[in-house]
């Protein structure tokens, strides 16, 4: 009987047993020797039912599964196969001990009882039951994120130590498989977005901004991995030697990863990978000096610290438009044609190519009404140059686009509008005062008090923007980048992070998020657009009220801990004069 039971437990068939409703039971014709023995035998051979269910799942596993966590389900099949192999080995050892009357198992008696057999198989009974629970739960998951989350929930929700160990073993096996797949993801273009979003984040196509991440991933890690992949796919085409060297390093790093994975360990892995990519690929194409030039251009052109840029741009637009209007009748065609010419001539006249190198090729001048350009932002923020609402954009090419994301590009375009509107309004008031002298000389005298107040306010705001915020923060950024370069610890992720911190600080201190203040400033700009030097006295002027409201908006920042108190207080003191 014992031999028949062991054969049955190992997956063989036996005439002494029947299968009923998925359960294997002792045949009714077989009469047990003692009362209760049938129930005990049926309890022992229940392992055969469990083994059969697991084996069936392994055998019918669909290699063509379209589930996004397919590679994890394959890992589950391997884990189940491994456990069944160990189970079969233990049965073979058990039968050997019975046949040889091994005293370790048989003891002092001559025969092995069913109770001894049951006790010996108790651990496997628990293990096979746990494997079925594991298989049932995981096979229902459709994504990588949900699979790892399910494992986490099962681990945290169980009070049984052995089950926790099994779940942890499964999790480590899955994570090892995930790491292997990660390397393949980083170096191969599968062209399957659904795989990428599930692989990194969950059940959404917008995988870069997904909040349902794999438990050991953060959004920063996801962004870093996507950047690494972009670099590797580009290197695959033009840097074969570097690509192969980095790939070998990737496999070494993955092999050395401690399990189970944590956010900290995966962050370190992504950082080391990006460091390799930076050294071997990125800075071979985008040198430190070019990044340094880009930073200078961001400050001087995009943030308009170069006071000659906007006036020159306006002058060029006026001249080029005059040339084109003589040969073109359609205004839309004229604008499309002349803006690239205007920018090119402005760059040439100011010799910006000498100053910033090839970085000037990243600049693009567009009309605010260009609906095809996805980077156009809010219509509430406009800069009027010679009657046309223009916007200067940054169109960075790889690998320069690793220095800042699309959101940062949009911020620079908005800051160009914000600072440009400020600059043009100050120029407008100054021109009014300049022309006023001629009218005053002819005996025409008009009240200009509100314009003086407005000029004082806008000039104070401009001085604060450049002397207190932009110049110091970008000077510090360049010094930090230079220090990294000198210590030979330059990595693109560090450059990008330093720039992001600088831009975040500048945005905050330039009141980028204060819509109330911007509405008030836009009201000032709108009123100024109504003025003509000879008509100032006829305008129903509300400038003083708008200036007063703007100052009040700034005063409210005095005790706000999120602002740099020293410089914000200096501005408030100046505005209180």
What residues does each domain of the chain span? 1-137, 141-285, 289-575
For residue 209, the model assigns a pLDDT of 44
Residues pairing with 372 in the sheet: none
491: CB partners within 8 A, 6+ apart: 274, 275, 278, 279, 484
Is residue 86 over pLDDT 90? yes
The Cα diameter of the chain in Å comes to: 133
| Nearest in space to 8 (alpha carbons), one of 37, 45, 43 | 45
What backbone torsions phi and psi does residue 376 show, to the nearest 5 degrees? -65, 135
| Nearest in space to 364 (alpha carbons), one of 334, 331, 390 | 390
Is residue 258 over pLDDT 80? yes
pLDDT digits (tens, 9 = 90+) for 259-312: 999 999 999 999 999 999 988 888 888 888 999 999 999 999 999 999 999 999
- The predicted model gives 555-565 an average pLDDT of 88
For residue 118, the model assigns a pLDDT of 81
407: CB partners within 8 A, 6+ apart: none
Of 31-45, 191-205, 474-488, give the range with the top mean pLDDT: 474-488
Is residue 345 over pLDDT 70? yes
For residue 491, the model assigns a pLDDT of 84
- Collapse the DSSP code of 364 into the 3-class scheme (helix H, G, I; strand E, B; otherwise coil) and give the result: strand
Percentage of the chain exceeding pLDDT 90: 33
Give the torsion through C-alpha atoms of 512, 513, 516, 518, to 10 deg: 20
Which element (helix H / strand E) includes 168?
helix 161-187
pLDDT digits (tens, 9 = 90+) for 182-214: 998 888 876 555 556 666 665 444 444 445 668
Is residue 457 over pLDDT 60? yes
pLDDT digits (tens, 9 = 90+) for 213-244: 688 888 888 888 888 988 888 888 778 888 89
For residue 325, the model assigns a pLDDT of 66
Is residue 453 over pLDDT 60? yes
Is residue 374 over pLDDT 90? no
- C-alpha to C-alpha distance for 152 and 145, rounded to whole angstroms: 11
Of 146-160, 190-204, 366-380, 436-450, give the range with the top mean pLDDT: 146-160
For residue 343, the model assigns a pLDDT of 92
Identify the residue with better confidence: 497 or 322: 497
For residue 66, the model assigns a pLDDT of 52
Instruction: Measure CA 432 to chain center.
Output: 49
Q: Are strands 17-20 and 23-26 parallel, antiparallel or unpaired?
A: antiparallel
- The predicted model gives 341-361 an average pLDDT of 92
| Residue found by looking up tokens 């040198």 in the block | 287
pLDDT digits (tens, 9 = 90+) for 110-123: 566 777 778 888 88
For residue 121, the model assigns a pLDDT of 85
Architecture of domain 289-575: Up-down Bundle (1.20)
In this prediction, residue 19 has a pLDDT band, given cuts at 50, 70 and 90, of: confident
- The predicted model gives 71-87 an average pLDDT of 91
For residue 445, the model assigns a pLDDT of 45
- C-alpha to C-alpha distance for 381 and 117, rounded to whole angstroms: 81
- The predicted model gives 79-94 an average pLDDT of 90
For residue 379, the model assigns a pLDDT of 42
Is residue 255 over pLDDT 60? yes
pTM for the full predicted model: 0.72
**Pair of tokens at residue 53:** 């269910």
Give the count of beta carbons closer than 10 Å to the beta carbon of residue 479.
10
For residue 106, the model assigns a pLDDT of 62
For residue 41, the model assigns a pLDDT of 78
DSSP string over 222-283: HHHHHHHHHHHHHHHHH-HHHHHHHHHHHHHHHHT--SS--HHHHHHHHHHHHHHHIIIIIH
Q: Contact at 8 Å (CB) between 416 and 304?
A: yes
- C-alpha to C-alpha distance for 458 and 441, rounded to whole angstroms: 27
In this prediction, residue 371 has a pLDDT band, given cuts at 50, 70 and 90, of: very low
pLDDT digits (tens, 9 = 90+) for 489-547: 778 888 999 999 999 999 999 998 888 998 999 888 888 877 765 566 555 678 888 99
Is residue 413 over pLDDT 80? yes
- C-alpha to C-alpha distance for 277 and 187, rounded to whole angstroms: 12
In this prediction, residue 73 has a pLDDT band, given cuts at 50, 70 and 90, of: confident
362: CB partners within 8 A, 6+ apart: 294, 297, 394, 395, 396, 397, 400
For residue 289, the model assigns a pLDDT of 92
Lowest mean pLDDT, pick from 1-10, 182-191, 287-296, 323-332 = 323-332
Give the N- to C-terminal CA distance of the chain in Å, as an integer. 104
- C-alpha to C-alpha distance for 76 and 83, rounded to whole angstroms: 11
Q: Mean pLDDT across the chain, nearest whole number?
A: 82
| Nearest in space to 352 (alpha carbons), one of 419, 305, 401, 402 | 305
| Nearest in space to 408 (alpha carbons), one of 538, 495, 532 | 495
Give the count of beta carbons closer than 10 Å to the beta carbon of residue 303.
23
For residue 212, the model assigns a pLDDT of 61
189: CB partners within 8 A, 6+ apart: 233
């Amino acid at each position: 009987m014992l031999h028949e039971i062991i054969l049955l437990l190992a997956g063989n068939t036996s005439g002494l047993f029947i299968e009923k409703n998925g359960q294997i039971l002792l045949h009714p014709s077989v009469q047990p020797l003692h009362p209760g023995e049938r129930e005990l035998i049926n309890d022992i051979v229940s392992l055969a039912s469990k083994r059969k269910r697991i084996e069936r799942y392994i055998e019918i596993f669909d290699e063509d599964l379209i589930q996004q966590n397919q590679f994890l389900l394959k890992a589950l099949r391997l884990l189940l196969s491994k456990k069944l192999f160990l189970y079969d080995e233990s049965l073979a050892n058990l039968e050997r001990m019975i046949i040889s009357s091994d005293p370790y198992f048989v003891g002092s008696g001559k025969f092995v009882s069913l109770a001894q057999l049951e006790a010996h198989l108790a651990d496997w009974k628990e293990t096979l039951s746990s494997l079925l629970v594991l298989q049932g739960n995981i096979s229902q998951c459709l994504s990588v994120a949900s699979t790892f989350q399910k494992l986490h929930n099962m681990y945290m929700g169980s009070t049984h130590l052995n089950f926790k160990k099994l779940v942890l073993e499964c999790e480590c096996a899955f994570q090892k498989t995930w790491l292997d797949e990660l390397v393949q993801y980083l170096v191969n273009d599968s062209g399957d977005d659904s795989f990428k979003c599930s692989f990194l984040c969950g059940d959404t196509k917008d995988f870069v901004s997904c909040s349902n991440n794999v438990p050991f991933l953060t959004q920063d890690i996801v962004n870093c991995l996507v950047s690494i992949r972009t670099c590797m796919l580009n290197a695959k085409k033009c840097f074969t030697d570097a690509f192969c060297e980095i790939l070998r390093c990737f496999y070494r790093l993955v092999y050395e990863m401690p399990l189970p994975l944590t956010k900290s360990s995966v962050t370190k892995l992504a950082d080391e990978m990006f460091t390799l990519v930076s050294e071997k690929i990125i800075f071979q194409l985008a040198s430190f000096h070019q990044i340094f030039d880009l930073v200078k251009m961001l400050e001087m052109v995009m943030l308009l610290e170069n006071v000659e840029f906007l006036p020159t741009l306006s002058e060029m637009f006026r001249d080029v438009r005059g040339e084109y209007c003589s040969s073109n009748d359609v205004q839309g065609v004229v604008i499309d044609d002349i803006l690239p010419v205007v920018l090119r001539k402005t760059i040439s006249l100011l010799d910006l190519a000498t100053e910033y190198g090839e970085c000037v090729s990243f600049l693009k001048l567009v009309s605010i009404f260009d609906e095809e350009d996805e980077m156009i932002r809010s219509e509430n923020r406009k800069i009027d140059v010679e009657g046309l609402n223009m916007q200067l954009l940054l169109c960075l090419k790889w690998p320069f686009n690793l220095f800042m994301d699309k959101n940062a590009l949009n911020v620079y375009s908005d800051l160009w509008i914000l600072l440009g509107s400020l600059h043009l309004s100050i120029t407008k008031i100054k021109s009014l005062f300049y022309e006023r002298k001629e009218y005053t000389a002819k005996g025409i005298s008009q009240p200009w008090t509100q314009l003086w107040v407005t000029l004082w306010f806008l000039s104070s705001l401009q001085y604060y923007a450049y002397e207190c915020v932009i110049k110091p923060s970008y000077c510090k950024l360049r010094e930090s980048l230079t220090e990294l370069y000198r210590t030979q610890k330059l990595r693109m992720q560090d450059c990008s992070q330093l720039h992001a911190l600088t831009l975040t600080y500048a945005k905050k201190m330039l009141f980028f998020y204060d819509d109330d203040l911007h509405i008030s400033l836009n009201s000032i700009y709108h009123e100024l657009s109504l003025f003509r030097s000879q008509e100032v006295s006829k305008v129903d002027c509300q400038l003083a009220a708008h200036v007063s409201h703007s100052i009040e908006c700034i005063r409210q920042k005095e005790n706000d801990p999120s602002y740099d108190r020293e410089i914000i207080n200096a501005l408030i003191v100046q505005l209180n004069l």
